[in-house]
Chain A
Amino acid sequence: MKQIVVISGKGGTGKTVLSGSLAALANNKIMVDCDVDAADLHLLLHPTVKERHEFRSGQTAVIDKELCKRCGKCISVCRFGAIKDDFTVERFSCEGCVLCSHICPYGAIHMEENVAGAWFISDTSYGPFIHAKLGIAEENSGKLVAKIRQIAKEIAEKHVFGHIIIDGPPGIGCPVIASLSGVDCALIVTEPTLSGLHDAQRVMEVARHFNIPLKVVVNKYDLNPVITEKIENFCHGQSIPVVGRIPFDETVVKALVERKIIIEYARSPAGKEIRKIWDELRA
């Protein structure tokens, strides 16, 4: 079984369009949307949810007004500025470290577990799909990513699937690291802009740092052929294979609006290139 994750560093370079297409092209696979902050793949895959599970993670301090003597010890030890002057806890700042609860001389602070989101096992016309929704303004997205990847792996092993296709988040932080760990290939999709190049280089370094094999796709490559060449030269210098150049194609937006996968449009130049990319990846 091969795990392929699509990441980009910079947001909006085409991760979901590409991973949705790969998921449609692969036989015998399971799909995972690891962009749990702002998940979009479900908009293309139209899942029917079979199972819904609560995601509990982290905790928040709660101060008992009756017991609190307003001594201020908690405020002085909290490094996250989460306890306000009126001795209430600011939910979004509390990182659940429990120090205030340990230090309170009156036992007035207890911790409550956060319901930080939910994850789903769904069916789609392309196959099974694991996705999640992080609660609004919640943390621990890395843990939620690790959770849904674990579930996907269990299902893939049970059904002897050939591929796990993962739609990754933008950036280089904790959910990206959780999406990358242990995959067989990180497919980096970038665009020929200075930001695209800069961000792709950083995420390539992250993948290298964790010894993940890398491949690169340049999306909308014809928007700036000079920078496309720069990206390709950079990859060449680092011995990173560039497995595709997707042209700018208005059908991509049309497909998005119709909430369809681009490879369903037989004449789309972008769709054709993505088919080639898939042939390259599975070879």
Chain B
Amino acid sequence: MIISIASGKGGTGKTTVAVNFALSLKNIQLLDCDVEEPNAYLFIKPRIKEELKAYIPVPEVDEAKCNYCGKCREVCAYHAIAVLPGSEGKKGSVLIFPHLCHGCGSCSLLCPQSAIKEVNKEIGVIEIGEKDNIHFVHGCLNIGEAMSPPLTRQVKKYINPTRTVIIDAPPGTSCPVITAVKGSDFCVLVTEPTPFGLNDLILAVEVLRKLQIPFGVVINRSDIGDGKVDSYCEEENIPILMKIPFSREIAVSYSEGMPIVKKDSLYQDKFINMYLNICTIINEANSRH
């Protein structure tokens, strides 16, 4: 089973929930798919056993074969190629902008001269490790790299279906989030009871409904702010899976990279209950189909 942890708004407690959830259950694989800002390892402190470089394919032109026809420029939907045709006595040239390239392969496949091959460009690293009952994988995007989804997809290739898989997703509602949560059996949306929390929760709910992934909500710092997240969930018939009240103690342990369940074992029971609750919801959804 794959359970992803997401939120529209950042800083609501995705990593807190993902990490403590992972520590409360058995036979877990934790994937940190917030590859722009991966943080789960700060709390899990896994022993990293493998470090693999992640690449995307980008074009390289063999100028001996190229006749500067411009087909590659014409088919590239991302404007990642410019072709300067040659003039009398002067060779043309092809400019590649690897940061714009999505690695779709159109240019190399469609080049009439077969003058383009693909070479690997490094975009980040994937680290694989272990800690107690947790198999840990995360991706870390290189600085200055704009596109995170290719790295997220590569992290997700390590999903081990024999374990309960927990995915820590990035914030937002666009491609990095979609790439992280796609294929999940369930998604936990973490929010806070403020107008920002509610506004971004509503956006995240729309995303999950479009993707047709069943979901529930965790309200973090549940005793600050107002009650509008509660009433929204009630109106929309969205299950509230857990509430975590604000405590300065929790905030301080978080700041030091200390998971709540290590400080307060009551939280372990809460996370186990949340898991059982999620299993029931998934089963009910499956039996309806």
Contacts and interface: CB of A to CB of B under 8 A. Distances in A.
| Nearest 6 A/B pairs, CB to CB | A11-B10, A12-B11, A97-B104, A37-B172, A193-B255, A171-B36
A254 B109 CA distance: 58
Interface of A: 8-13, 16, 37-38, 40, 43, 59, 77, 79-80, 92-93, 95-99, 102-103, 134, 136-139, 141-142, 169-174, 176-177, 191-196, 198-199, 202, 205-206, 209-210, 223-224, 227, 250, 253, 256-257, 259
A223 B106 contact: no
Contacts of B177: 37
B256 A205 contact: no
A170 B37 contact: yes
B109 A38 contact: no
- Interface extent on B, as a size class? 35 or more
Interface stretch (B83-91, B143-151, B230-238, B269-277): B143-151
B242 interface: no
B10 A136 contact: no
A43 B196 contact: yes
Contact of A12 (B9, B110, B174, B225): B9
Which secondary structure dominates chain A's binding surface? Answer: loop
Which secondary structure dominates chain B's binding surface? Answer: loop
A40 to B, nearest CB: 4
Interface of B: 8-12, 15, 36-37, 39, 42, 75, 77-78, 102-106, 109-110, 141, 143-148, 170-178, 182, 194-196, 199-200, 203, 206-207, 210-211, 224-226, 248, 251-252, 254-257
A116 to B, nearest CB: 9
A137 B195 contact: no
B210 A99 contact: no
Contact of B176 (A40, A43, A173): A173
B144 A223 contact: no
A79 B105 contact: yes
A253 B224 contact: yes
A34 to B, nearest CB: 12
Contact of A173 (B12, B110, B146, B252): B146
Contact of B196 (A16, A171, A192, A209): A16
B42 A12 contact: no
Given A43-B196, A257-B225, A38 B37 contact: no
Interface centre among B37, B109, B143, B256 (most CB of A within 10 A): B37
Interface centre among A59, A137, A210 (most CB of B within 10 A): A137
19 contacts: A9-B37, A11-B11, A37-B172, A37-B177, A38-B8, A38-B10, A38-B203, A40-B9, A97-B78, A136-B173, A170-B36, A171-B176, A173-B147, A174-B147, A192-B255, A195-B15, A198-B39, A250-B224, A256-B196
B256 A40 contact: no
Given A40-B200, A139-B174, A173 B39 contact: no
Nearest to B224: A253
Contact of B37 (A174, A191, A193, A202): A202
A140 to B, nearest CB: 8
A206 B144 CA distance: 6
B77 A223 contact: no
A194 B255 contact: yes
Given A173-B176, A174-B147, A136 B141 contact: no
Contacts of B194: 253, 256-257
B226 A38 contact: no
A97 B103 CA distance: 9
Contact of A99 (B104, B145, B206): B104
Nearest to B210: A137
B182 A134 contact: no
Contacts of A134: 173-174
A96 B79 CA distance: 12
B219 to A, nearest CB: 14
